[in-house]
Amino acid sequence: MDLPTKRLARYQTSQKSLWQRAASRKTAYLFLLPTMLLLLTFNYYPALSAIYHSFTMWNGFTEPTFIGIENYVEIFTDPVMKKASSNLIVLALWRMLITLTVPVLVAELIFSVKGKLLQHWYRLLFVIPLIVPRLVTYLLWQFIYEPNVGLLNSFLASVGLESWQQTWLGDPKIALYAFMFMGFPWVDGVAVLIYLAGLQAIPRDIYDAALIDGTNVVNRFFRIDLPLIMGQVKLMVILAIIGVLQGFEGQLVLTDGGPGYATTVPGLEMYKQAMEYNRMGFGSAVGVVLFTIILTLTLINNKYLKSDVEYSGT
């Protein structure tokens, strides 16, 4: 087809109505239909339902009673939710810090390994822990932190540091920090892979040019690597925020949010209120608030955290 004919075909297509254009591509839409139906049923409908039920007193079974913004007032005045929110901020900052440091460092170290085979094995080494269920990790740390026979206190006793022994998850003053320390050395296999893929996509000639200019490792990291993996950084920041805001399984397994409310987070409160205490209306309201926060932070992240260096991927 020559150029004028192509233009004519495009012009004719643009003159068709939306329905006509959709009808002409009906096979594609039919293929999409099951996915869309599942999405609507299991993702959009529950989310919209949660927004509606957040304005009701509802136990999940009987007819909901409309109570206006009462659930939201409770969220913003309840001391437990305040404590949960402050814990969440601390955990989010901590997660951001470790997401932006340790996996980047590990990815850089693997990227610096010269031999391809060796690089492959190192990558495998950091990814293997991904197959261990998260629950196993939590139970392992529960054993490490056990105050009487746990690994950590036993180790401290064996090296003569009995005075350093603590009731790690049982002391409200240190429980949150003990919780944050869990997972040491905090190498997230997925994050390492994503950062590594970003580093491997950087064109070789940029490094060659930098080498000719006499750059050192630190300069290379801050002036080449980091700016060019900002897309990956942005993704990891979003994932970290979503992970922290939605995650509560660690608290559920290890502390139930305690002692007191030392380790609780809004997600855990949402789960307990909705699923254990039959307060589905209040749980929905907490969910809506969390959704709004995630959406806002994602938009901010997309707007302000940008990769200002472009390169050709060829």
Q: Which residues, at least 6 apart from 128, have a Cβ–Cβ distance to it below 8 Å?
A: 189
Least distance in angstroms from the C-beta of 157 to other proteins: 12
Number of H helices, E strands in the chain: 18, 2
137 near other proteins (CB under 8 A): no
Q: What is the DSSP string of 128-156?
A: GGGGS-HHHHHHHHHHHH-TTT-HHHHHH
User: Which residue in 167, 246, 301, 307 binds other proteins (CB under 8 A)?
Assistant: 167
Give the angle 47-49-53 at the CA atoms, nearest 5°.
120
Q: Which of 90, 105, 170, 230 binds other proteins (CB under 8 A)?
A: 170
* 59 part of the interface to other proteins, by CB under 8 A: yes
Question: Quick one: which of 238, 221, 253 has its CA closest to 112?
Answer: 221
Which H helix or E strand runs over 56?
strand 56-57
Give the residue with the Cβ less far from other proteins, 257 or 287: 257
Q: Which stretch binds other proteins (CB under 8 A): 5-13, 39-47, 215-223, 252-260?
A: 252-260
Closest Cα partner for 229 from 261, 195, 263, 259?
195
CA distance 5 to 68: 61
Among 64, 80, 96, 210, binds other proteins (CB under 8 A): 80
Report d(CA 271, CA 84) in Å as an integer: 13
Binding range to other proteins, per CB under 8 A, among 43-51, 116-124, 143-151, 233-241: 143-151
Sole window of 10-18, 35-43, 276-284, 302-310 interacting with other proteins (rule: CB under 8 A)? 276-284
The smaller minimum CB distance to other proteins, of residues 19 and 61, is found at: 61
Please, which residue, 172 or 243, has the CB nearer to other proteins? Answer: 172
Asked whether position 163 contacts other proteins by CB under 8 A, the answer is: no
Q: Three-class SS of residue 229?
A: coil
Residue of 72, 109, 137, 172 interacting with other proteins (CB under 8 A) = 172
| Preceding peptide of 147 cis, ω within 30° | no
- Asked if 243 is part of the footprint of other proteins (rule: CB under 8 A), the reply reads no
Q: Does residue number 45 form part of the binding site for other proteins (CB under 8 A)?
A: no
Contact positions toward other proteins, by CB under 8 A? Answer: 57, 59-62, 80, 142, 145-148, 167-173, 254-261, 272-273, 275-279
